[in-house]
Amino acid sequence: MKKMVEKIKNKTYLPIITSLIIGFIFLGLSLAPLFYEANLQKKLPPNRVMILGEPQYPYDYNVYLSKIRQGKEGRWTIIDKYTNQVNQKGVFLQMFYLLQGKAAKLLNLAPAPTYHLTNILTAFAWILTIITANIFFLKQKKYFLPGILLSFLASSFPLVFDMYGRFWIGHFMGWWQEMDVLKRISYIPHYNLNYIIITILTILLSLYGQKQLKKRQKTKYLTAIITLTFLGFFIHPSGSIVFLLSWFLYHALRLVLKTYSKKQLITVLIHSSILGAVNLIPLMYLQKVTTTYPWKSLVDYDQYFRLTVPIKDYLLSLGPVFITGALAIILLITKLLKTFKRQNNNNQNRKIRIKEKAAQEKLLKLLPLATWFIAAFSSLLGFKLFPYQSELRFVQTANHIPLAILSIFLLKEIMGLAKNSQQKIAAALSITTIYLVITVLGSLQVIYSLKSQFLFLSQKTQADFPKVAYPPQVTQPLKDFYLGLKYLEQKTNRNTVVLSQLTAGNYIPAYAGNFVYLGHVSETPNFTQREKQTTDFFQGRLNQLQAENFLKQENINYIFYGPQEKENTNFNLASYSFLKPVFHSQEVTIFQVLKNR
């Protein structure tokens, strides 16, 4: 302890401690809306119940809770509860949430607090990973400390507008919450884990590429890379896809630069073949699983309900670091080409060649950052042209991190160009201006992110219209709605199928554990057709025989009949003789379907 105090006094650990303080500040700011919402409970209307910590997009959040619940209830594989296919075979998709359920059972936690605890832990791990990456690639504290700050504050160019008479600053692609400078720090647990994996893989690629490595060390790094990419496919496939492309781009560039001996090239080719072959296993598995329902609905969604990425808006959403990062990539590759030419110049003496070789090694260390961004952007463009999967998945690969770190490399190089005192002053002013622009814009985005989240949560807590909302995140649930969910959880079998409109259908698998006929646009097969059939049923467009046959054919056991199900109709389900009311409150009735009459 005494030695540690001395090292802190001698400033050995001071940069690390400063980095951690910066990270904790950003983690605290990203979690501030959660604590702000807890203080709003007294403003809640008396007919509402607060589900604390529900993100601004609970539509997917409820899907994750349903997977955690499955793990807690004893399952070891995932099934889709957003369909009426009760006897489906379990798969190994979204296993991260099922494993959270196992932990929830040990700790005796409900799915929601388990999710938030995991989110905080993975967000903390992601912050440590950002700090580690900056220290690894930038080494010196005068570079890695600014790099860490830039990694957190890299944000969109400002989108200035008037919001109900108030000056407001937003960001490009504001409809995609991950682009928010604060939300992306602790947004969704498997996103955090995906960011961590691709960052660690990039560090491992840089280590793997070191020339002085022995065969045993290279094999060790390759084993770690294979393991992480394999696991990554089952957490968030886009991260592993981006890294595999980054791996091949990295080695292709090194092949062009002729930095490999014949022996090294053979080793790289063998290792690349092993890496590709092993990762064919999860790719083939995912392909097999998503060719049949219910999981084919994930592919259907990407093809038929496509959310496209406007390239111009995406680049603007990356903000100034896109410009500085892109310039850094061009500079990095240009300098590598120049060092290669100088190193192979027979007119230079051995001492100069050794110096050029050392300079080349330093540049090669940064090359995986460049191939990370190039791979992500290429994948985005590729899946835009060939829409097997949504190109938005390749926005979800923390692309601002390599750009931020490479931006510091660019600023360092600008300073290195200065030869005399006047040039040094001009370079220092240029660097300071660029850095201030990026950090000030990021700080403004942090302020307005908090303001917008606080404003939204305040309005959501006090909102009492509509009774049941779709999208569901704009109001807190009715007490009667929540009590209906609790009835299903406590009084029905997990293998029963419930029919409701979309909002209740979205909540039921998460909070009650039942299957639903309709509940999620990407996890409910044939969503459009089912949505129409559900609406026809609740609006009384089917006669009694058609309605009874529909419920029997679709294996529906219970009807959740609340305000949303009663909208736009005067029809009352109680008129059907094959329905028996088993739960009734002011707003919600739950009917059991009588099938053996």
Tokens of 143: 């570079």
125: exposed, middle or buried (Cβ count in 10 Å: 0-12, 13-18, 19+): middle
**Residue type, position 509, single letter:** P
Residues contacting residue 586 through CB under 8 Å, at least 6 positions apart: 480
Residue spans of the chain under pLDDT 50: 4, 8
Instruction: Give me the pLDDT at residue 14, please.
Output: 84
What element of type H or E holds 242?
A: helix 237-256
For tokens 């201030």, name the residue: 436
Structural domain includes residue 129: yes
Residues contacting residue 295 through CB under 8 Å, at least 6 positions apart: 80, 91, 93, 289
Mapped to the 3 state alphabet, what secondary structure does 259-317 carry?
CCCHHHHHHHHHHHHHHHHHHHHHHHHHHHHCCCCCCHHHHHHHHHCCCCCCHHHHHHH
**In this structure, what is the dihedral angle of CA atoms 287, 291, 293, 296, given to the nearest 10 degrees?**
70
Q: How far apart are CA 282 and CA 267, in angstroms?
A: 24
Q: Are 439 and 181 in contact (CB under 8 A)?
A: no
Beta strands 558-561 and 497-499 are parallel
Instruction: Give me the pLDDT at residue 438, please.
Output: 94
CA angle 111, 114, 117 (to 5 degrees): 155
Backbone φ and ψ of 586, nearest 5°: -60, -40
pTM: 0.94
Q: How far does the chain reach from its first CA to its final CA, in angstroms?
A: 77
Task: Residue 312: give the domain boundaries.
Answer: 123-457
Backbone φ and ψ of 584, nearest 5°: -145, 135
**Residue type, position 307, single letter:** L
Structural domain includes residue 128: yes
Give the CA diameter of the chain: 98
Structural domain includes residue 513: no
**Tally of structural domains, the chain:** 1
Q: How far apart are CA 464 and CA 449, in angstroms?
A: 25
Structural domain includes residue 117: no
Instruction: Give me the pLDDT at residue 213, please.
Output: 78
Among 418, 400, 510, residue whose Cα is nearest residue 51? 510
Instruction: Give me the pLDDT at residue 73, please.
Output: 95
Tokens of 549: 């046959």
Q: Are 37 and 56 in contact (CB under 8 A)?
A: no
For residue 495, CA distances in Å to 88, 303, 558 come to 11, 30, 11
CA angle 209, 215, 216 (to 5 degrees): 110
Structural domain includes residue 436: yes
**In this structure, what is the dihedral angle of CA atoms 291, 297, 301, 304, given to the nearest 10 degrees?**
70
Structural domain includes residue 487: no
Instruction: Give me the pLDDT at residue 2, please.
Output: 56
Residues contacting residue 199 through CB under 8 Å, at least 6 positions apart: 129, 130, 132, 133, 398, 401
Beta strands 515-516 and 497-499 are parallel
Q: How far apart are CA 32 and CA 410, in angstroms?
A: 34
Q: How far apart are CA 186 and CA 168, in angstroms?
A: 24
**Residue 162 DSSP class:** E
